[in-house]
Amino acid sequence: MRLTARRTGSVFGELIHLWLYDRLAVDPDRSNGRALLLHHSEANDLTGALWELLKQTLWVPVLDHWRDLLLSHLDEMGCLTRLDGFCVGAFAIDLSNRERIEQEVSFLVRSGRLQIESSCEITAQAA
């Protein structure tokens, strides 16, 4: 007669490894203006990576010297969301309100806050 038996599983119950991911982390949704940038918590140049992903996702043509102003403006509009996690974080880009995005970028260009030529090019031409 056997009085002992091996328990199935562990003291914590069944342990399963499960990988869940969003397709947006691999391929931005250009038609709906959505993307996801995954990064390690100690990543250095997040602004550069975020800008490159934004240029891929955004249907409006943008110039590289607009980076800082446009990223901060989109952040204020709620289009950029920081998602914090353990060792891995993400930035969610949501540009789904196409009309508003186009109006804001057009306004920034018309008001002179976003210029066609960078300040370095203007200074070089003046010299």
Task: Determine the Cα–Cα distance for residues 18 and 123; give it in Å rounded to an integer.
Answer: 55
* Tokens (6 digits) for 8: 């199935």
Counting the structural domains of the chain, the total is 1
Check the CA dihedral 116-68-81-89 and report its sign: positive
78: in domain = yes
Task: Determine the Cα–Cα distance for residues 71 and 50; give it in Å rounded to an integer.
Answer: 9
Task: Determine the Cα–Cα distance for residues 35 and 94; give it in Å rounded to an integer.
Answer: 7
Give the global pTM.
Answer: 0.74
pLDDT above 90 covers what percent of the chain?
57
- Choice among 12-16, 76-80, 106-110 with the minimum mean pLDDT: 12-16
In the block, residue with structure tokens 């390690």? 40
13: in domain = no
Above 80 in pLDDT, residue 11?
no
| pLDDT band (50, 70, 90) for residue 116 | confident
2: in domain = no
Would you say 80 and 50 are in contact if contact means Cβ atoms under 8 Å apart? Answer: yes
What domain range is 75 assigned to?
24-126
51: in domain = yes
- Choice among 36-40, 48-52, 63-67, 116-120 with the minimum mean pLDDT: 116-120
121: in domain = yes
10: in domain = no
- Choice among 7-21, 68-82, 88-102 with the minimum mean pLDDT: 7-21
In the block, residue with structure tokens 């490159």? 52
8: in domain = no
| pLDDT band (50, 70, 90) for residue 92 | very high
- According to DSSP H, which parts of the chain are helical? 46-57, 67-77, 98-110, 119-126
40: in domain = yes
Would you say 103 and 35 are in contact if contact means Cβ atoms under 8 Å apart? Answer: no
